[in-house]
Chains A and B, each alone.
Chain A
Protein backbone atom coordinates (compact mmCIF):
# COMPACT_ATOMS: atom_id res chain seq x y z
CA UNK A 1 0.00 0.00 0.00
CA UNK A 2 1.24 3.48 -0.87
CA UNK A 3 0.03 6.39 1.24
CA UNK A 4 -0.44 9.67 -0.63
CA UNK A 5 -1.30 12.85 1.26
CA UNK A 6 -3.08 15.73 -0.42
CA UNK A 7 -4.94 13.13 -2.45
CA UNK A 8 -8.11 15.10 -3.16
CA UNK A 9 -6.61 17.56 -5.65
CA UNK A 10 -3.58 18.88 -7.45
CA UNK A 11 -0.37 16.90 -7.59
CA UNK A 12 -1.51 14.46 -4.90
CA UNK A 13 -4.54 13.48 -6.95
CA UNK A 14 -2.50 13.22 -10.16
CA UNK A 15 0.00 10.95 -8.40
CA UNK A 16 -2.81 8.76 -7.02
CA UNK A 17 -4.41 8.49 -10.46
CA UNK A 18 -1.09 7.49 -12.00
CA UNK A 19 -0.35 4.84 -9.35
CA UNK A 20 -3.86 3.43 -9.55
CA UNK A 21 -3.54 3.24 -13.36
CA UNK A 22 -0.49 1.02 -12.71
CA UNK A 23 -2.61 -1.22 -10.46
CA UNK A 24 -0.81 -0.08 -7.32
CA UNK A 25 -2.80 -0.01 -4.08
CA UNK A 26 -3.14 3.56 -2.89
CA UNK A 27 -4.59 5.05 0.25
CA UNK A 28 -5.36 8.71 -0.25
CA UNK A 29 -5.19 11.05 2.71
CA UNK A 30 -6.96 14.40 2.62
CA UNK A 31 -8.91 16.72 4.89
CA UNK A 32 -11.97 16.25 2.71
CA UNK A 33 -12.31 12.86 1.08
CA UNK A 34 -15.79 13.32 -0.42
CA UNK A 35 -14.51 13.69 -3.99
CA UNK A 36 -12.00 10.82 -3.77
CA UNK A 37 -13.08 7.76 -5.72
CA UNK A 38 -10.42 5.37 -4.40
CA UNK A 39 -9.61 4.13 -0.86
CA UNK A 40 -9.07 7.15 1.33
CA UNK A 41 -9.10 8.42 4.88
CA UNK A 42 -9.91 11.85 6.15
CA UNK A 43 -7.05 13.44 8.06
CA UNK A 44 -5.64 16.90 8.61
CA UNK A 45 -1.92 16.18 8.46
CA UNK A 46 -1.13 19.31 10.46
CA UNK A 47 -2.60 17.49 13.46
CA UNK A 48 -0.24 14.94 15.01
CA UNK A 49 -3.19 13.20 16.65
CA UNK A 50 -5.15 12.88 13.41
CA UNK A 51 -2.13 11.30 11.68
CA UNK A 52 -1.75 9.02 14.70
CA UNK A 53 -5.38 7.92 14.36
CA UNK A 54 -4.80 6.92 10.73
CA UNK A 55 -1.66 4.98 11.68
CA UNK A 56 -3.55 3.25 14.48
CA UNK A 57 -6.22 2.13 12.02
CA UNK A 58 -3.63 0.84 9.55
CA UNK A 59 -1.90 -1.09 12.35
CA UNK A 60 -5.19 -2.57 13.49
CA UNK A 61 -5.95 -3.71 9.95
CA UNK A 62 -2.40 -5.06 9.49
CA UNK A 63 -1.86 -2.97 6.39
CA UNK A 64 1.70 -3.01 5.08
CA UNK A 65 2.89 0.44 4.05
CA UNK A 66 5.46 0.29 1.26
CA UNK A 67 5.79 3.96 0.52
CA UNK A 68 4.65 7.42 1.51
CA UNK A 69 4.19 10.40 -0.80
CA UNK A 70 3.78 13.65 1.11
CA UNK A 71 2.08 15.76 -1.53
CA UNK A 72 -0.20 17.79 0.75
CA UNK A 73 0.65 21.45 0.82
CA UNK A 74 -0.78 24.95 0.91
CA UNK A 75 0.44 28.31 -0.31
CA UNK A 76 -0.70 31.84 0.37
CA UNK A 77 1.27 34.32 -1.70
CA UNK A 78 1.87 37.46 0.30
CA UNK A 79 4.66 39.71 1.48
CA UNK A 80 5.98 38.41 4.79
CA UNK A 81 5.54 41.75 6.59
CA UNK A 82 1.81 41.80 5.92
CA UNK A 83 1.09 38.11 6.49
CA UNK A 84 -1.02 37.56 9.62
CA UNK A 85 0.41 35.10 12.17
CA UNK A 86 -2.41 32.59 11.78
CA UNK A 87 -1.64 32.30 8.04
CA UNK A 88 2.08 31.86 8.71
CA UNK A 89 1.29 29.17 11.26
CA UNK A 90 -1.08 27.39 8.90
CA UNK A 91 1.56 27.26 6.15
CA UNK A 92 4.28 25.98 8.51
CA UNK A 93 1.94 23.53 10.23
CA UNK A 94 0.67 21.99 6.99
CA UNK A 95 3.75 22.06 4.78
CA UNK A 96 6.53 21.46 7.28
CA UNK A 97 5.03 19.93 10.41
CA UNK A 98 2.50 17.94 8.38
CA UNK A 99 5.33 16.39 6.39
CA UNK A 100 7.32 15.72 9.56
CA UNK A 101 4.33 14.16 11.35
CA UNK A 102 3.60 11.86 8.40
CA UNK A 103 7.27 10.88 8.01
CA UNK A 104 7.55 10.14 11.75
CA UNK A 105 4.40 8.11 12.05
CA UNK A 106 4.02 6.38 8.68
CA UNK A 107 7.81 6.00 8.62
CA UNK A 108 7.66 4.11 11.92
CA UNK A 109 5.16 1.73 10.29
CA UNK A 110 7.66 1.09 7.48
CA UNK A 111 10.63 0.33 9.74
CA UNK A 112 9.72 -3.30 10.29
CA UNK A 113 9.58 -3.99 6.55
CA UNK A 114 13.20 -2.83 6.19
CA UNK A 115 12.27 -1.47 2.77
CA UNK A 116 10.39 1.45 1.34
CA UNK A 117 10.43 4.89 -0.10
CA UNK A 118 9.33 8.26 1.21
CA UNK A 119 8.86 11.19 -1.14
CA UNK A 120 8.47 14.70 0.22
CA UNK A 121 7.63 17.83 -1.73
CA UNK A 122 9.60 21.04 -1.83
CA UNK A 123 9.42 23.78 -4.44
CA UNK A 124 11.50 25.79 -6.86
CA UNK A 125 10.73 28.69 -4.50
CA UNK A 126 13.50 27.44 -2.19
CA UNK A 127 16.20 27.64 -4.86
CA UNK A 128 15.01 30.91 -6.36
CA UNK A 129 13.87 32.71 -3.21
CA UNK A 130 10.72 33.95 -4.90
CA UNK A 131 9.42 37.36 -3.79
CA UNK A 132 6.07 37.07 -2.00
CA UNK A 133 6.72 33.45 -1.03
CA UNK A 134 8.95 33.92 2.04
CA UNK A 135 6.88 31.89 4.47
CA UNK A 136 6.02 29.20 1.93
CA UNK A 137 9.73 29.08 1.02
CA UNK A 138 10.69 28.77 4.69
CA UNK A 139 8.30 25.83 5.09
CA UNK A 140 9.68 24.07 2.01
CA UNK A 141 13.32 24.78 2.91
CA UNK A 142 12.47 23.07 6.18
CA UNK A 143 11.14 20.08 4.27
CA UNK A 144 14.40 19.86 2.30
CA UNK A 145 16.54 20.01 5.44
CA UNK A 146 14.34 17.50 7.20
CA UNK A 147 14.54 15.18 4.20
CA UNK A 148 18.35 15.23 4.22
CA UNK A 149 18.64 14.39 7.92
CA UNK A 150 15.73 11.97 8.03
CA UNK A 151 17.12 10.06 5.04
CA UNK A 152 20.21 9.23 7.13
CA UNK A 153 18.04 8.02 10.03
CA UNK A 154 16.00 5.79 7.72
CA UNK A 155 18.92 4.47 5.68
CA UNK A 156 19.64 1.91 8.42
CA UNK A 157 16.25 0.44 7.62
CA UNK A 158 16.66 0.43 3.85
CA UNK A 159 14.10 3.21 3.47
CA UNK A 160 14.93 5.92 0.95
CA UNK A 161 13.78 9.47 1.59
CA UNK A 162 13.86 12.00 -1.21
CA UNK A 163 12.28 15.26 -2.13
CA UNK A 164 10.77 16.51 -5.39
CA UNK A 165 10.91 20.25 -5.98
CA UNK A 166 8.66 21.26 -8.86
CA UNK A 167 8.54 24.61 -10.60
CA UNK A 168 5.15 26.11 -11.43
CA UNK A 169 2.77 23.28 -12.28
CA UNK A 170 -0.80 24.14 -13.20
CA UNK A 171 -2.72 23.06 -10.13
CA UNK A 172 -5.09 24.82 -7.76
CA UNK A 173 -2.09 25.76 -5.61
CA UNK A 174 -1.03 28.27 -8.25
CA UNK A 175 -4.43 29.83 -8.89
CA UNK A 176 -3.34 33.17 -7.38
CA UNK A 177 -0.24 33.47 -9.54
CA UNK A 178 -0.43 35.33 -12.84
CA UNK A 179 0.83 33.92 -16.14
CA UNK A 180 3.57 36.56 -16.20
CA UNK A 181 4.77 35.52 -12.74
CA UNK A 182 4.78 31.86 -13.76
CA UNK A 183 6.72 32.63 -16.94
CA UNK A 184 9.30 34.59 -14.97
CA UNK A 185 9.88 31.62 -12.66
CA UNK A 186 9.92 29.11 -15.52
CA UNK A 187 12.51 31.21 -17.38
CA UNK A 188 14.89 30.63 -14.47
CA UNK A 189 14.65 26.83 -14.73
CA UNK A 190 17.44 25.03 -16.61
CA UNK A 191 14.79 23.57 -18.90
CA UNK A 192 12.72 26.70 -19.38
CA UNK A 193 9.35 25.10 -20.03
CA UNK A 194 6.35 24.49 -17.86
CA UNK A 195 6.04 20.91 -16.71
CA UNK A 196 2.78 19.11 -15.95
CA UNK A 197 1.45 16.91 -13.13
CA UNK A 198 2.28 13.93 -15.36
CA UNK A 199 5.98 14.86 -15.30
CA UNK A 200 5.92 14.94 -11.52
CA UNK A 201 4.10 11.59 -11.45
CA UNK A 202 6.89 10.19 -13.67
CA UNK A 203 9.46 11.24 -11.08
CA UNK A 204 7.37 9.74 -8.29
CA UNK A 205 7.26 6.45 -10.18
CA UNK A 206 11.02 6.55 -10.67
CA UNK A 207 11.62 7.17 -6.96
CA UNK A 208 9.25 4.35 -6.02
CA UNK A 209 11.01 1.96 -8.34
CA UNK A 210 13.59 -0.31 -6.64
CA UNK A 211 16.04 0.71 -9.36
CA UNK A 212 16.34 4.11 -7.68
CA UNK A 213 17.54 2.48 -4.46
CA UNK A 214 20.87 4.33 -4.66
CA UNK A 215 19.11 7.68 -4.28
CA UNK A 216 18.36 9.04 -0.84
CA UNK A 217 18.46 12.44 0.81
CA UNK A 218 18.23 14.11 -2.59
CA UNK A 219 16.17 17.02 -3.86
CA UNK A 220 15.09 16.48 -7.45
CA UNK A 221 14.29 19.74 -9.24
CA UNK A 222 11.63 19.40 -11.93
CA UNK A 223 12.99 21.44 -14.82
CA UNK A 224 16.30 21.92 -13.04
CA UNK A 225 17.59 25.04 -11.29
Chain B
Protein backbone atom coordinates (compact mmCIF):
# COMPACT_ATOMS: atom_id res chain seq x y z
CA UNK B 1 0.00 0.00 0.00
CA UNK B 2 1.35 3.39 -1.00
CA UNK B 3 1.69 5.95 1.75
CA UNK B 4 -1.10 8.47 2.19
CA UNK B 5 0.88 11.49 1.05
CA UNK B 6 1.73 9.86 -2.27
CA UNK B 7 -1.88 8.85 -2.83
CA UNK B 8 -2.95 12.39 -1.92
CA UNK B 9 -0.70 13.85 -4.60
CA UNK B 10 -2.04 11.42 -7.19
CA UNK B 11 -5.63 12.27 -6.27
CA UNK B 12 -4.97 16.00 -6.53
CA UNK B 13 -3.49 15.42 -9.98
CA UNK B 14 -6.65 13.50 -10.97
CA UNK B 15 -8.80 16.37 -9.70
CA UNK B 16 -6.72 18.93 -11.60
CA UNK B 17 -7.14 16.88 -14.78
CA UNK B 18 -10.92 17.16 -14.42
CA UNK B 19 -10.99 20.93 -14.18
CA UNK B 20 -11.68 22.37 -17.62
CA UNK B 21 -10.22 25.83 -16.92
CA UNK B 22 -6.52 25.09 -16.46
CA UNK B 23 -5.82 28.69 -15.40
CA UNK B 24 -7.58 28.03 -12.07
CA UNK B 25 -5.22 27.25 -9.21
CA UNK B 26 -6.36 24.13 -7.41
CA UNK B 27 -5.49 23.80 -3.76
CA UNK B 28 -6.87 21.91 -0.77
CA UNK B 29 -9.53 24.53 -0.09
CA UNK B 30 -10.85 24.69 -3.65
CA UNK B 31 -14.59 23.89 -3.59
CA UNK B 32 -15.77 21.14 -5.93
CA UNK B 33 -19.49 21.88 -5.78
CA UNK B 34 -21.48 25.08 -5.89
CA UNK B 35 -19.00 26.76 -8.21
CA UNK B 36 -18.32 26.55 -11.92
CA UNK B 37 -14.92 24.95 -11.36
CA UNK B 38 -16.30 21.49 -12.04
CA UNK B 39 -19.67 20.69 -13.63
CA UNK B 40 -21.90 17.71 -12.80
CA UNK B 41 -20.60 15.65 -15.71
CA UNK B 42 -16.97 16.22 -14.70
CA UNK B 43 -17.87 15.43 -11.09
CA UNK B 44 -19.20 12.01 -12.13
CA UNK B 45 -16.13 11.44 -14.31
CA UNK B 46 -13.99 12.37 -11.33
CA UNK B 47 -15.80 9.74 -9.26
CA UNK B 48 -15.14 7.14 -11.96
CA UNK B 49 -11.46 8.09 -11.98
CA UNK B 50 -11.35 7.77 -8.18
CA UNK B 51 -13.07 4.39 -8.52
CA UNK B 52 -10.31 3.27 -10.90
CA UNK B 53 -7.64 4.54 -8.53
CA UNK B 54 -9.32 2.64 -5.66
CA UNK B 55 -9.37 -0.55 -7.73
CA UNK B 56 -5.66 -0.05 -8.34
CA UNK B 57 -5.22 0.15 -4.57
CA UNK B 58 -7.42 -2.90 -4.09
CA UNK B 59 -10.47 -1.38 -2.43
CA UNK B 60 -13.87 -0.14 -3.54
CA UNK B 61 -14.48 3.59 -3.48
CA UNK B 62 -18.08 4.32 -2.54
CA UNK B 63 -19.02 7.75 -3.80
CA UNK B 64 -22.63 7.50 -2.62
CA UNK B 65 -23.45 9.37 0.54
CA UNK B 66 -26.53 11.05 1.95
CA UNK B 67 -24.51 14.22 2.36
CA UNK B 68 -22.41 13.90 -0.81
CA UNK B 69 -23.62 17.20 -2.29
CA UNK B 70 -23.85 19.11 0.99
CA UNK B 71 -21.76 22.29 0.89
CA UNK B 72 -21.11 22.04 4.62
CA UNK B 73 -20.65 18.31 5.22
CA UNK B 74 -20.36 16.55 1.86
CA UNK B 75 -17.24 14.82 0.60
CA UNK B 76 -17.27 16.98 -2.53
CA UNK B 77 -17.22 20.31 -0.69
CA UNK B 78 -13.47 20.79 -1.23
CA UNK B 79 -10.49 19.04 -2.76
CA UNK B 80 -9.28 18.30 0.75
CA UNK B 81 -12.56 16.71 1.91
CA UNK B 82 -12.72 14.46 -1.15
CA UNK B 83 -9.12 13.32 -0.78
CA UNK B 84 -9.65 12.77 2.94
CA UNK B 85 -12.76 10.65 2.28
CA UNK B 86 -10.85 8.55 -0.24
CA UNK B 87 -7.97 7.97 2.17
CA UNK B 88 -10.41 7.11 4.99
CA UNK B 89 -12.25 4.61 2.82
CA UNK B 90 -8.97 3.03 1.75
CA UNK B 91 -8.04 2.53 5.40
CA UNK B 92 -11.47 1.20 6.40
CA UNK B 93 -11.91 -1.20 3.53
CA UNK B 94 -8.47 -2.73 3.47
Residues of A within 8 A of B (CB): 56, 104, 111-112, 153, 156-157
Residues of B within 8 A of A112 (CB): 48
A156 touches B44 (CB 8 A): yes
Cβ-based interface call for B35 (8 A): no
Residue in B40, B60, B64 whose beta carbon sits within 8 Å of that of A156 in the complex: B40
12 A–B pairs (Cβ distance < 8 Å), ordered by A:
A56-B60, A104-B64, A111-B44, A111-B45, A111-B48, A112-B48, A153-B40, A156-B40, A156-B41, A156-B44, A157-B41, A157-B44
B25 to chain A, nearest CB (A): 26
Classify chain B's interface size: under 10
A-B pairs under 8 A by CB, number: 12
Interface SS majority for chain B:
helix
Measured CA separation A104–B44 after assembly (Å): 12
Measured CA separation A104–B64 after assembly (Å): 10
Measured CA separation A157–B47 after assembly (Å): 14
Residues of A within 8 A of B48 (CB): 111-112
Nearest CB in chain A to that of B44: its residue: A111
B33 to chain A, nearest CB (A): 15
Residues of A within 8 A of B44 (CB): 111, 156-157
B13 to chain A, nearest CB (A): 20
Sample of 7 more A-B contacts, CB < 8 Å, known A56-B60, A156-B41: A104-B64, A111-B45, A112-B48, A153-B40, A156-B40, A156-B44, A157-B41
Residues of chain B from 40 to 72 with CB closer than 8 A to chain A in the complex? 40-41, 44-45, 48, 60, 64
Measured CA separation A104–B68 after assembly (Å): 15
Residues of B within 8 A of A111 (CB): 44-45, 48
Residues of B within 8 A of A157 (CB): 41, 44
Nearest CB in chain A to that of B52: its residue: A112
Residues of B within 8 A of A153 (CB): 40
Top-10 shortest CB links A-B: A156-B41, A112-B48, A111-B48, A111-B44, A156-B40, A157-B41, A153-B40, A157-B44, A156-B44, A111-B45
Nearest CB in chain A to that of B45: its residue: A111
B17 to chain A, nearest CB (A): 16
A51 to chain B, nearest CB (A): 12
A157 to chain B, nearest CB (A): 7
Measured CA separation A151–B67 after assembly (Å): 23
